[in-house]
Structure formats: C-alpha cells, structure tokens
Structure 1
Amino acid sequence: MKKIICLSLLLSTVLIGSLYAYTKKETSTSSSVGQTTEMITQSSEQSQQDTNKHRQTSSVLWRVEKSGKPVSYLLGTIHIGKIGSSLPKEMVQALSESKVLITEANMEPDFQELMQLSQLMLDPQGNLEQKLGEHDFRALASMTKNVPAQALKQFKPWAAFTLAMYGTPNGYSEEFGIDKLLTKQAITTDKERVFLEKIEEQLQFFADVPEEKIISALKVMLQNATSTQAETQKLIDFYEKNNLDQLAALTLNKENTLKNFPPNDQKYWAHWFYETLLKERNHHWLAVIDQQLSQQSTLIAVGSAHLMGENGLIQLLKNKGYTLTPISLN
C-alpha cells in the first residue's frame, strides 16, 4: 500500500493544490501563498552544448524531435518541491523555447472552479469520522494538519483518500512543485496553456472506486503513515537527482506496490493504478499530444509515472516515430 500511495502522487498533481486552496478560502485559516519564479534565460546553442556534454540514457526531461515538426520537450513532474526552490535552468530553457505548455490539468483554477470541485468532494451531511472510526479519523487529521478537523469530517472518503496519499515532508510544499512553478512561469511569460484533462475528470478516477475499497485502503494508509512518508522522501530524492530509472524501478514493481493491500483487493488496485490511471490515460493523451507536436513547439509536463514503461509516453512517442533524447539537469 505504501508504494502505491507514494507513486500515485506523481499522477494527479493538481488535486491537493486545489483542495488546499478551497479549504483555506472557506475556513480562513491562512492566506494563499503567492510565488513569482525568477526567469532564467540561456541561449539554445549553449543549452545544446550542455546537453551533449552531459549526455545520459535517462532523465525526467527529454527533447522530442521528428522530421518536419518543431522541436518539443517532454517533462516528468513531481507535485511538491523544497520551499524556496526554483525551476532548474534546463526546464526554464525548455519552456522558453516552447510556444505552448501542456499539463494534465489547470494548476491555477479560479474561485468558481474551486467551488464546483468542493461540491464534488464534500458532503455537508456526511460524517467521515463515523465511517473511519474515531481512532483512524484522528490519525487522518494529524496527517492533514492544513485542513481543520471540522472541515475534514465533511470530506467524502475518496476525497480524504486523495488528501492522505500526499505525504509532504517537512520543508516541502505543493506551491513549489514542478507543475506549479512551470504554470506560474508560463503565465508570467504569456505562454499558451493546454490541458489534457479537466480537474473533475481526474477526481472522477477516485470517485469511481467503491467506497468500501477506499475506506479499507485509507485505513491501511493510516497504519503505514511513517513508512509512507519515507517512501515519499525516497521518490523525491530520486527525482531531485534526475534518476528516472530508479523512479521507474519503484513505480513498475507490482509485487512491492501491492503487497500491503488486502489480498482480495490487490487485483482491483493493480488494474486501477496500472491500467486506468496510467495506460488508458497515456493512450488517450497520445493523440492530443501528437497533434499538438505537429503544430507548435511544445513542453509537455505530466506526472513522472506517465513517462515509464512500455505504455509510458516515452515509448509511445518513439513508436510514433519521434526521437527522444534525455537532457541532463545540472
């Protein structure tokens, strides 16, 4: 269980940012954090020289090329980052050279959109504490300190599941996740933005899970809170070292991913994670991405798990005739 929790955090990065934004607006517990990313510029020629000098076989950032089409980039992201950090210069350069930024969903939803999301995620008549039990609810409240306990009681179980799976280590914040920083940079520089999905569509993948499976998984998650955060930190470390191979080794190891699930639920969660969240969405996105790459230079930024394996975007784009070259991050 602990691995799928950590691995899933690479997928739908907008969920927690939107959720926190809503709860902060409703409860007035704190003001939203505004960050302006410093723009770093560098010539294309120097960037290519650095790429050649530090050439490697894997990366979270890839140059995407095909004859007759503009050069584009593919980036695997993570939803949290060290507080005060900024984008690596290679990512800034990739965005600078691109006319369009594609992300999974809108990382800066407006207030009206957040209100609509709240209607989907909250049940004013519900009582999550009754469904989880007092002990597990207190454990959940301890994990999600940014959400007041009274507001947490109104969360639907699947919404609490999405909240609990994002264990954020001390010194890290969703506001400094790669997706957030890229989005802010794109807005600052007036880049066109394209979204592969609506936030509601992302949330629906969780809402469609039967409630009894969600509650069972959530209870296991709470029991393994300490090890979950340790796994999260391990993934962050691999990401910061630009080690996509190690990230993939964790993500694609089904045995380790599923070993802490109840035996009767393992088949269900394996299909949900590897087929529904990864494979099906990757193949659906591919047509949109391929069409966009034919038109304009584009930076595609999606959760790192979507890059990996035979059904990952790296391999799917190669199957379409694209040449992908990993870019070293200094």
Structure 2
Amino acid sequence: MSLMKTIGGGLVATALLAGSAFAGPSLWHIEDEDSDIYVFGTVHILRPGMDWQTDEIMTAFNAADTVYFEAPVNDPAEAAAMQQLVMANALNPAGTTLSSLVNEDTWARIESFAPQVGASGAALEPLRPWMATIQLGVGFIIVSGYDPASGVESTLWPLASEAGKTLAYFETVEEQIGFFANMPQDVEVRLLEQTMAEFEAAPEQLDDLVTSWANGDQAEIDRVMNDEMRAEAPEVHDVIIVQRNLRWADEIETMLEGSGTTFIAVGSGHLPGEEGVIALLRERGIEVSGP
C-alpha cells in the first residue's frame, strides 16, 4: 500500500471522465429522535471536472448545521503553522541521507523518477523517508493532471465556511502530521520502498479506486485501499486506519447524544470493511442506513 493512495484517498484518470456514468459515491445516515448524522467518504485529490456532487450528497450537506472533516488542513488560517510543522519533522538527522536508508533498487528508482516530478535525488537526500514519499507522490499526482484544489474537502470546506456552518474536526493538524512523523524509521523506509515499487502500476490501481468510489463499491474500496497495507505494513495500517477509525466511531456515538444535523466527510478508505467506521458503529448497536 503506497502512501500516495493514503494521501489521495483515490484519483481519477482521464478515461473515467469521458462519457462514463456512475451510480454516485456512497452516503450513510444515522438518526435518533433529535439527531441526523450523514457520513460521506471522500477523495482528497481529483482531476478538475469530476462530477461527484449528487443531489443526495448535496441535500444532506446543505441541511447540516455542523460539518466534520478529518483535520483543518483546508483552512487558510492553518497554512503557515502546518508548513512549519511539516518542515520541523521533514529532515533527517545531520549526517544521515535518504540514500543511506533505502535499498539500492529503491534509490535507483528514486533517482530515475524524481526528475519526472521536478525533483532530483540530490534534493531529496536530506528528507526523511515519509516526507520523500509525500513529495514524490504528490508530485506524481500533479504532473499527471490532478489537482489538490479539486478534491472533495477542498470543495466542501469553503462551501461550509461561506454558508456559516459550524466547522469541526476529528483531529488536529499536529496529530495528522504526527501519524507519519512518529513512525519508526524502518516503517517509514518500508513505506517509501513500497511506494516506489508501485509507481508503474499506480495508474491502474488508482483508476480502480476512483471507479469503485464513484460507484459506491465499498468492498472494492476496502480491497484497493486497505488489503495490501493490512498484509504488508500492519503497523502503518493500525496507526493510519484502525486506531483513527476507533476514535472517530467513539466521537460519532457521542454526537448522537446531542442534537442537530451533522455532515461528516472523511477519507473513503476509513469507512468500509470489518475495521471501518460504519462496521464499528453497527457493532455498537447503532442503526446506520446505507451500504
């Protein structure tokens, strides 16, 4: 499982935008006598022009008093602090280079691939493996024609802000960066090595992911997003997916004790499967309508 999939939550290829019809992404609904909670799985980065805003999704969003996101990464007021946090955790200790941490095959792939995304092996040498993975992954996404500004959160956050909705978050920016920055070094390295090995296959895998998202195919989303990470990097899967899902399910259960209408928008890989947020809520006896 590459970090590129984790960053994006899914991408869309050109072919998927040309004359294709989709059932629409999934939306779940939880209600009691005084609460309505909608849960929507997102894709963080999309090609401009992707039409995912179905009537069902936008009706639920527009009805919400409060909108929950993973973290305030789309808030312009957080940008400077977020950049400082990233840079404070991005560099290797003095005397340690990226090439000294990865195997020879991976370093050869990095030196060959980096110029394609406007980087170089030399420029990446000071970076910790998690940061190099993000820089290469996001660079690949952008040069392939995708745009972080077209992602679901990048669309919904300003709409919620302009409408005067209450903006709420499951995590802080510090916590999100910490999920990667606090990984043991061997886990960071393995993630980078896997990501570089996957780049050739990435377009097909990401096409599968966004097609399943656009069609509401939760089993396929779980397979593409989580199966490989569960098998090959269980420590990463536990930190990035499982433990966060458990915390979010706790918070959603607490939301039901309050009142009002809430729209929750979190990465699509967090919702399906036995360890997904939806299954965790249902295990607690909470009735969740949807797939």
Q: Shorter-chain TM-score category?
A: 0.7 to 0.9
SS at match of 1:322: coil
Question: 1:73, 1:94 within 8 Å by CA — same for their partners in 2?
Answer: yes
Partner of 1:240: 214
Give a deviation string over 1:52-98, Cα, whole Å, max 9, x none: xxxx9x952112222x2321200111111121345513322221111
Shift of 1:162: 3.2
Match of 2:170 among 193, 196, 207: 196
Q: Which amino acid in structure 1 is aligned with residue 38 of structure 2?
A: Y
In 2, Cα distance between the equivalents of 1:80 and 1:115?
22
Shift of 1:322: 3.1
Give a deviation string over 1:136-166, Cα, whole Å, max 9, x none: 4323524643x67765444222211234455
1:135 and 2:99 are equivalent in the alignment = no
Query: Against the structure 1 CA distance between its residues 217 and 285, is the aligned structure 2 distance closer, same or farther, given a 3 Å change threshold?
Result: closer
1:209 and 2:183 are equivalent in the alignment = yes
Give a deviation string over 1:248-271, Cα, whole Å, max 9, x none: 2334535x964xxxxxxx4xx123
1:306 and 2:279 are equivalent in the alignment = no
Q: Which amino acid in structure 1 is aligned with residue 43 of structure 2?
A: I
Q: Report the more deviating stretch, 212-221 or 310-319.
A: 212-221
Superposition pairs of residues 67-82 of structure 1, within 5 angstroms: 68-82=33-47
Q: Which amino acid in structure 2 is aligned with residue 107 of structure 1?
A: V
Query: Against the structure 1 CA distance between its residues 149 and 291, is the aligned structure 2 distance closer, same or farther, given a 3 Å change threshold?
Result: same
The Cα RMSD (Å) is: 3.1
In 2, Cα distance between the equivalents of 1:277 and 1:228?
20
| Corresponding pairs, count | 268
Partner of 1:93: 59
SS at match of 2:67: strand
Partner of 1:118: 87
In 1, Cα distance between the equivalents of 2:274 and 2:34?
24
Shift of 1:196: 0.8
Question: 1:128, 1:137 within 8 Å by CA — same for their partners in 2?
Answer: no
Question: 1:70, 1:296 within 8 Å by CA — same for their partners in 2?
Answer: yes
Shift of 1:185: 1.4
SS at match of 1:297: strand
SS at match of 2:201: helix
Question: 1:129, 1:137 within 8 Å by CA — same for their partners in 2?
Answer: no
Match of 1:156 among 115, 128, 138: 128
Question: 1:100, 1:194 within 8 Å by CA — same for their partners in 2?
Answer: yes
SS at match of 1:71: strand
Partner of 2:281: 317
Partner of 1:8: 6
Shift of 1:232: 1.6
Shift of 1:315: 1.7
Query: Against the structure 1 CA distance between its residues 148 and 98, is the aligned structure 2 distance closer, same or farther, given a 3 Å change threshold?
Result: farther
In 1, Cα distance between the equivalents of 2:53 and 2:117?
29
Give a deviation string over 1:195-227, Cα, whole Å, max 9, x none: 111122122222233323422442343233111
Partner of 2:290: 326
Question: 1:235, 1:247 within 8 Å by CA — same for their partners in 2?
Answer: yes
Superposition pairs of residues 16-55 of structure 1, within 5 angstroms: none
Shift of 1:176: 0.9
Question: 2:71, 2:172 within 8 Å by CA — same for their partners in 1?
Answer: yes
Give a deviation string over 1:84-121, Cα, whole Å, max 9, x none: 34551332222111111111111223323322332222
SS at match of 1:302: strand
Partner of 1:172: 146
Match of 1:231 among 187, 194, 205: 205
Provide structure 2 residue ranges, at least 5 long, that are not aligned to the other structure: 11-22
SS at match of 2:41: strand
Query: Against the structure 1 CA distance between its residues 184 and 283, is the aligned structure 2 distance closer, same or farther, given a 3 Å change threshold?
Result: same
Provide structure 1 residue ranges, at least 5 long, that are not aligned to the other structure: 14-55, 259-265
What TM-score results when the alignment is normalised by the length of structure 1? 0.70
Query: Against the structure 1 CA distance between its residues 130 and 136, is the aligned structure 2 distance closer, same or farther, given a 3 Å change threshold?
Result: farther
In 2, Cα distance between the equivalents of 1:209 and 1:112?
21
In 2, Cα distance between the equivalents of 1:71 and 1:154?
48
In 1, Cα distance between the equivalents of 2:196 and 2:2?
13
Query: Against the structure 1 CA distance between its residues 221 and 4, is the aligned structure 2 distance closer, same or farther, given a 3 Å change threshold?
Result: closer
Partner of 1:51: none
Give a deviation string over 1:268-318, Cα, whole Å, max 9, x none: x12331x22222111112222222342331111111121112221112222
